[in-house]
Amino acid sequence: MGQIITNRTGRVKIFHSGVNPEIVIKAEQKKKYLLFRAELNLDPKHKFNNDFAITLQAYEKNGLAKEPLDMGTVGKPIDLADIIVEDINIDSILFRLKITDNKNVIKGWADQISITLDDNFSEGAKALSDQSDTILPIQETDQISTPFKLQMIPNERPKLLLKARLNLKEKFKREITTKVFIYTSVIRQILFTYLADEEFNDDPKKKQFLQKIKDNAGGDLEDPPEDIMENNKITDEGHEWIEKATSLSLSKPISFNGKNTSLMDEFTTECKKYGVGDEDEN
């Protein structure tokens, strides 16, 4: 294996990329969760004590972190198989590995470990990730000051960032009004950015997202206007297309509480629960 690297704290860096990585993590995106397995092959040159404990933790950068998982000890390491992770998408999951002594002092570590796609473990995992029913991956983070924010980076899927510790992720999932308000805002913003920002002209994720929007519209949405910008401003036709695309996304048929409906229908029903008489409107 490769060279041993230590830092001034005496911690040994565990290699997770390149030739002969010491840990390999393979994953498959299911519809409601992520399934992964981790294979460990520590280099004996590290000379860790056999009783040193090994743990692996899944997390999102600047976001949610799961409880560390036991991978045994250096003397008796355990590969992890078919581990389920909820609330973190295959596009944003990372892992950190720690090796600690009996005083919980870190002796070895690896951070920002990304997954390795493996056809034998995950048939079509990348395609599933790219074409997932999850049109907008969600990540909780403490790096934003507003309740939510859209993150768009060329060649990456758009991501909805939710402020951590507000329980907003659960509200987004379960409360139809929260979901529709946020969804309407970010879908408009994604479409506007993709159609108006030249930085995304050749972005393959743009093509995938626009196709997903058209699929959601059930054949009722034409391609966006070719000449959507005029004098550095989006045209009226462009604005109309974005509004139509957003509206049709909200009207996509879904299964909700055992019935066929749509986000907009459920939103309308929920709002009418709080109807007021004309005399109360002011």
- Consecutive sets of 10 residues in the chain, 282 residues long: mean pLDDT of each? 47 86 90 88 93 94 86 94 87 91 94 72 39 66 90 89 83 85 94 92 90 85 86 89 93 77 90 67 53
Query: Among candidates 192, 172, 176, 181, which has minimal Cα distance to 243?
Result: 192
Q: In which region does residue 232 sit, left (phi positive, over 0), alpha (psi from -120 to 50) or beta (all else)?
A: left
User: What's phi and psi for 89, nearest 5 deg?
Assistant: -85, 155
pLDDT at 272: 87
* Biggest distance spanned by C-alpha atoms of the chain: 80
Task: Give the integer Cα–Cα distance in Å for 159 and 189.
Answer: 12
Is the whole model's pTM more than 0.85, yes or no? no
Q: Where are the domains of the chain?
A: 5-124, 135-272
The CATH number of 5-124, from 3.30.9.10, 2.60.40.10, 3.40.30.10, 3.30.300.10, is 2.60.40.10
Beta bridge partners of 109: 13, 98
Q: Which candidate, 191, 271, 184, places its Cα nearest to that of 224?
A: 191
In the chain, which residue ranges form alpha helices assigned H by DSSP? 125-130, 168-174, 176-196, 204-216, 236-250, 263-272
DSSP 203: -
CB 67 within 8 A of CB 52: no
